Each structure stands twice: as C-alpha cells, then as structure tokens.
Amino acid sequence: MAEVCVIGAGPAGAVFAARLAHLGYQVHLIERARFPRRHLGESLSPGVMSLLAAAQMQDVIESAAFSRVSGVWVKWAEELTLRQDEREQGILVDRGEFDLRLLGRARDFGVRVYQPARILEQVWDGGRWRVRIDADRKQTDLSVDLLADASGRRQTRQRALVGSSTLAVYGYWRGTSLPTMPRIEAGRDAWYWGVPLPDGTYNTLVFIDPEQLRCVAGATLGERFLRLLEASNLMENCSGAELVVPAHAIDATAYLSNNPVTRNRIEIGDAAVAIDPISSSGVQKAIQIALSGAVVANTLLRRPESAETAISFYRGQLADSFERHRRWAGQHYRAVANHNNHSFWSKRAASIPGPDLMLAPAAEARTSMTAPLALSRDLKFVPTPCLRGDFVSLANALHHPRLASPLAFLGGRELAPLLQGLPPSLTLAQIAQSWSRRMPFASGMAIAGWLVSHGILVEQNGGEAAP
C-alpha cells in the first residue's frame, strides 16, 4: 500500500487526506496546532456543501447546525442595500469547530492524525520521502511515497503570479447590540467586512495596502485598527461592544505557486493558490483544489506513465483558476475605482487583463427551433488533460474563441463524442434527440442551447458554420 504524508489539517488538508484514504492509501496527516482554534474564513460560500458531499464529509457539518446567511448588507459602489438570499445557501461557521469536525471525519476514514506535531526533517532520498516529526514530544519517522503541502500561506513561498499586496487586519468583538447579518463596505482606501459568528462574537476585518497601514495614526496595531474602523460603519450602533481578541494582521494577497506539483510532491489549498478575499470563497476554492489534487496524486502514484499529463492538468487548472478570480475581483474593484481615484482601488482594478485575454461574451441564443445548425468553423478538438473518474487522462476538448479555456465536459457529459460526427443541418430539437441514448431529452436541449449561445453550434446559413 502506497503511503502519503499531508502537512496541514485545515479544510484542504482534511479533505485531501480523506479522499486519498477512500482511494486505498495509508495517509498520515500532520497538524501543528491543537483544535479547535480561531481561524479566518468563517463566511462560507454556497458551493462548500456540495464539495463536501463529494468527499462524503457534509454530514458532520450539517449536524453542527451552523448559522445560515439570509442576507448581506452591501455598501460598495452604491448606497447601502440588503442583498437577500431566500434559500440561505451561505453559512457562518466557527472555523475551530468546522475544521475539527472535518478532521474527525478524516480520522473516521482511516487517516492517521498527528496533532499537535511539527516536522523536524523532510528529505527525498531518491525513492521515498523520509519525514521525521515530533508529536507531543515523541519523535516518529515516516517513509512515504508522496508529500502533500496543505500548510496554507507562507511568506517565503515561491510565487509565480502575485496580486496587489493586501493585509487583513481583524479583531473579534462581544456585546449586546452587535450586527446579526454580514456586512461588506468600500471605504476611501480600504474595504471592510463584518461577520457575526455562531458563538455571539462579531469579527471585523479591514483589507488595506500594507504601505497605507503604516500611514494610519497609532503607536500599535490595535490603535491603527480602531482608527481604521472609525472610517467605516461596521460598528454602527454597537455602543458598549468590547474587543475580546486583540487585533491581528495577516497577509491576504492573492498569489499562484511557482511549482505546485512534481512527480512526488503536491501543494494543496492556499499553499498552491490564494484568491483575492473579495470573493469570500477561499475555503470553497481550497476544498475544490483538494478534490482535484487527490485525483492528480492518485494518477501520480498508480499511473506514473501519465505523470506529465497529471502535472500539466494541475498546473493549468490552478493558473486558470487564479486568472478567472483575478478578472472577477478586478471588475469589482473597478466598480469603486470609477468614482474613487485612490491608488488602493485603481491598482486592483488595473489587474483586469486586456480584451485579448478576456472571455468573449456569449452570443444571445436567438436561433429558432427550426433553423438548421452546424459546428462553427472556428471549433477545434485538441487532446487536453482532464479529470476522468479517479485519474487524469487526455480527452478531446473544445477550443473556440468564445471559450476562456478548453472545455471537455459540460453538465457531466463529455462533449467531443457528442459533437464529433454530428450531422449538419439538424435543428436544436433534432440534435437533442440524437443524444437521447446518452441523456434525457431535456438535458440534451440544455447542452445544445448552451453550445448555441457560445457560438459552438451556429446556423448553417449564417456564414460561420464549418463547410
């Protein structure tokens, strides 16, 4: 049985370890801190639970009955508004409890947990990793085939791409009149985020340029933090509130690792890529990376002949994710920069790439149900590394000017087998019907409609169809 050592037991490390245990590996998970402990990332985006379900770990989080988000107060480029979510898909969690439950679930799956523990030595001897750890003052030597770094952010980590330098300065409050809904707010030279937590505390965060923080009046970080909060409305009507955890500051800069994977080592979660905090989806992205990273690791260990394909896939996935989130964040910063010329906003808005790197807008699907369709002459099928079950392998992916990146699957269906050999002159309904042995008609209509809206299928007499 191959063995894997995972460093870091946050959400990414726990999910990655659990997934590899499912795949039949002996997994050693090393965590330096005792759980539970406070940790940022307490507001979880809606996609987290579906990802945990894929790892068979959602039940331990659902049973915790964490607070659901029914709305968020937003003051960004407009007046203060309440963005309501009747489905209450977002979750506010105690990260100490959240991480503890995921770690316990990983242990249930057979993962060996060393906590609190620190690594004394890690050496690749040409065949295996030799890892020496100190767990509760007892040294243990491990010999493993793959080392996974899920230890989170590190200032010394080599980075290929870096966003604008950002610090998150934060502190926890307790009182009788604290806000009950999250709040996000744009300031003159920073932005603010308030998160009410299940234990009754309220976390206030200020995201600011490090150089700008040095210009804020105050002898200590705590004094500067309070001065920054005065410029926001996060603590509005919170008289008598007490700061129960002193102010802290951590790096919140977006970045992409320079070398996230080799044949015997892989970086997971924030160790591999950190997205701009404006997305409020860092935990979701970390878990998503952990799940795909587990498939990459499985390929490296069980199909070494496909190692380069797996490595290419993982690096490409991380780079694409970083770029998409950078574009998305840049657009949000641009909304404020349009009427606030402070360098904090203009620098971050400037991260939006030029039109040549942007996803071309989807065409409006005006095709009638009776119009004959054909494949666009701009469409190409190119072998591309993709996830296929528990392994990474090559699949024919769609390359087209209106696609931001190669696309092999849509709605869980592999596209190339559906399109290669597709007869010309079929209507939308006839195309869906031709796929009826592979999927329900409604699913076929949805996929065909998406392909029309993105210019993959075009009207045969429109001049863009392949001859």
Question: 137 with 60, same domain?
Answer: yes
Amino acid in position 192: Y
Structural domain containing residue 214 = 165-251
Taking the C-alpha atoms of residue 403 and residue 386, their distance in angstroms, rounded to an integer, is 16
Residue 349 within a domain: no
What six digits make up the tokens of 165?
């330098």
Question: 291 with 392, same domain?
Answer: no
Question: 247 with 260, same domain?
Answer: no
Residue 120 within a domain: yes
Question: 277 with 395, same domain?
Answer: no
Place of tokens 């590899």: 20
Are the C-beta atoms of 333 and 278 separated by less than 8 Å?
yes
Q: Which of 251, 267, 286 is the last residue of a domain?
A: 251
Task: Quote the number of domains for the chain.
Answer: 3
Taking the C-alpha atoms of residue 255 and residue 162, their distance in angstroms, rounded to an integer, is 4
3-state class of 332 per DSSP?
Answer: helix
pLDDT confidence bin for 367, thresholds 50/70/90: low
- The answer to whether the pTM exceeds 0.85 is yes
Question: 304 with 247, same domain?
Answer: no
Residue 294 within a domain: yes
Question: 112 with 199, same domain?
Answer: no
Which CATH number is 236's domain given? 3.30.9.100
Question: 219 with 117, same domain?
Answer: no
DSSP state of 110: T
Note the pLDDT of residue 386: 92
Q: Inform me whether the pLDDT recorded for 157 exceeds 90.
A: no
If one counts every other C-beta atom within 10 angstroms of the C-beta of residue 330, the result is 20
pLDDT in tens, 59-95: 999 999 999 999 999 999 889 999 999 889 999 999 9
Question: 58 with 144, same domain?
Answer: yes
pLDDT in tens, 395-450: 999 999 999 888 999 988 999 999 998 998 999 999 999 999 999 999 999 999 99
Question: 242 with 391, same domain?
Answer: no
Residue 35 within a domain: yes
Question: 211 with 104, same domain?
Answer: no
Place of tokens 């340029």: 209
